[in-house]
Chain A
Amino acid sequence: MKEETNLTSIIIPTHNGLHLLTSCIEAIRRHTEVPYEIIVVDNGSTDGTQEYCIQAKLTIVALPRNEGFPAACNKGLSIASGEQLLLLNNDVLVTPRWLSNMLRALYSADEVGIVGPVTNYASGRQQKDIVWRTLEEFMQIAEQHNQADPAKWLEVQRLVGLCFLFKRKLWERLGPLDERFSPGHYEDDDYCYRARRQAFRLLMCGDTLVYHAGSASFAAVNPKGWNSLIERNRRKFIDKWGIDPWIYM
């Protein structure tokens, strides 16, 4: 399919997660067979993230402070040059054929706007029950699992932002992520909602499994804060749209 040869811009916001970031990048470099560019958006890290990116010859947007997930994504997206745009959490490890599988789904129809994979840990329908012991085992499972299969694509109403692939024309039509949801949570719900209002469709790629470590950093450091943040942002979504985002999960 010719769209697969278009460039995918992979935007990875990160904050003091160097060890996660290095594995994330390594996995992308190993398992991606289609053209891509990586843009790391550094939210004021102090753990050597910037030095690593420079050494690893990555394009990096080094922000002066932690501006949160949506703002960081927007900065990366505004300088991305790809025809497809992908938001990726730094605690995601991609797997064999991850991107080519998802691109097939993205370009399967004109109205498809956003696609996302299934994973071991995510809110909503994308979480899949996987049993594994080591990361190597997980990768082997993924290798077997990631056979392209359109029958496994499922129409959904919402996709999580941890691995979020969308078309440039969506960016042009909808504009940036809504930064009122800073530092994070529900900006992805908001974007999906806006996309559907413009008659775009969302597909969950049941044929693409990726690894997600989970909100290890934020939740571990600040468990109560995390819950209240989620609650606060859910309120913001309801205030904005008059709808509870939970109905779409």
Chain B
Amino acid sequence: MSRRKLGRPVGRQHSLAITYARNGFKRPARSQKSGKAERQGKIKWGQLEHRAGQAGYSAASGQAESSHSYEHLQSSFEEWFKEAVKGKLSWRSILTISKAYRRGYNTIARPPLPGIPLPLRGTVSAVVAASNEEKTIAAVIAELSRLPIQEIIVILNGCKDSSFHSIEKNDRVTVISYPQRLGHDVARGIGASLAAGDAVLFVDGDIVLAAEDLAAFVLEIDKGTDVALNDISPYLPPFSKQDDVTRSKMFLNYMLGRPDLQANSLTAIPHALSRRAITVLGGKSLIVPPKAQALAIVQGLTIRAPQSVDVVRKNRIRSENAGAGNEVARLILGDHFEALDEVMRLKGSRLKMTRLSRSELARKRNRR
């Protein structure tokens, strides 16, 4: 890992730097979340990054200035990556290499390109749900445009402001505009119905997330996981101080046999789904995120939480300002009821929790 990572975040701050800061600037142990090739000692870090930088440089210098573009950056990187990197890498390592390649490319390219290349096997769509977000929507789309996403679907609903007009004409952006408010999370179901990519990334139009943070979710799905969740555990207070929504998310995961997921859930963005996950879950269940979460677990989809992106603090600030925070909290509790109702229909009202009769249990517990 580059030494620069260990100092103050350069340019855009992103959660990797925060993770380092939290760990007292110690490099995370190599074995933590690293890929098989790395663990087997097959990758020499400094060398690969250096080679990436050089390859980016030569890719850019081999092209006329006018043909420096994100498309070229992406395609040349994919080609190079296929040859140069054998074996499986963690998404963090892939991102490091991507950025090294881009740095090399941008030594030549003028102006330097903002986009990040990623080695993807499939296609990616993004779904952005927004209602009256004229202040942030353009920036959200700008960040998504920095990733190799073929299709950015923006779903505006009930906008009384100039959200539609703040979206710049962009070759990859489709905007669906509904005059009426659709209600919470309905846009996600609509976006899922339209999206054609092998991986679909879901974000909201009111929180600008850096492309570097979103890359993890895209890479996770591309490598075969069905559901990539935001790991919000680092941002939660201790249990006694947690709110009702957090507890119900955790409860659902625990009851379905996934205590490892803690309070991570499809309720939060960003998250990404595979094509298979969308087919299995169906657009209708995505409208009630906890229900989709429950079904994902019960239907045996692979679920991971590869990256932590701080949406919690921003959300809390917003809902404290509005008074509607409580209303939405109650809606989410209701959603968890729906989720339980759904899985209870599939698995019985006790979700396969012990069938031991109380008398047998009493005998066991009171053995003398």
Contacts and interface: CB of A to CB of B under 8 A. Distances in A.
A contacts B: CB pair < 8 Å: yes
A182 interface: no
A60 B194 contact: no
A44 to B, nearest CB: 9
Interface string A49-61: 0100110011111
B173 interface: yes
Nearest to B170: A64
Interface residues of A, number: 15
B175 A62 contact: yes
A154 B287 CA distance: 42
A63 interface: yes
Interface string A159-178: 00000000000000000000
Contacts of B190: 79
A75 B194 contact: yes
Interface of A: 50, 53-54, 57-65, 75, 78-79
Interface string B139-183: 000000000000000000000000010000111111111110000
A75 B125 CA distance: 14
Contact of B172 (A57, A59, A60, A64): A64
B169 A59 contact: no
A193 to B, nearest CB: 25
Interface of B: 164, 169-179, 190, 193-194
Given A54-B164, A57-B179, A62 B174 contact: yes
Given A59-B176, A62-B175, A79-B176, 7 more contacts: A53-B177, A60-B175, A62-B174, A64-B169, A64-B170, A78-B193, A78-B194
A246 B193 CA distance: 35
Contact of B171 (A54, A64, A75, A78): A64
Contacts of A50: 164
Decide if the interface of chain B is mainly helix, strand, loop or mixed: mixed
Given A78-B193, A79-B190, A58 B179 contact: yes
Contact of A59 (B173, B174, B178): B178
A78 B169 CA distance: 23
A67 to B, nearest CB: 10
A82 to B, nearest CB: 14
B179 A59 contact: yes
A135 B48 CA distance: 72
A62 B176 contact: yes
A127 B171 CA distance: 39
Nearest to B189: A79
Contacts of A58: 179
Nearest to B175: A62
The 9 A-B residue pairs with the shortest CB-CB distance in the complex, in nearest-first order: A57-B179, A62-B175, A61-B176, A78-B193, A59-B178, A78-B194, A60-B177, A64-B171, A79-B190
A64 B179 contact: no
A65 B178 contact: no
Nearest to B191: A79
A64 B169 CA distance: 7
B154 to A, nearest CB: 9
Nearest to B162: A54
Contacts of B193: 78-79
B293 to A, nearest CB: 23
28 contacts: A50-B164, A53-B177, A54-B164, A54-B177, A54-B179, A57-B179, A58-B179, A59-B176, A59-B177, A59-B178, A59-B179, A60-B177, A61-B175, A62-B175, A62-B176, A62-B177, A63-B174, A64-B170, A64-B172, A64-B173, A65-B171, A75-B174, A75-B194, A78-B193, A78-B194, A79-B176, A79-B193, A79-B194
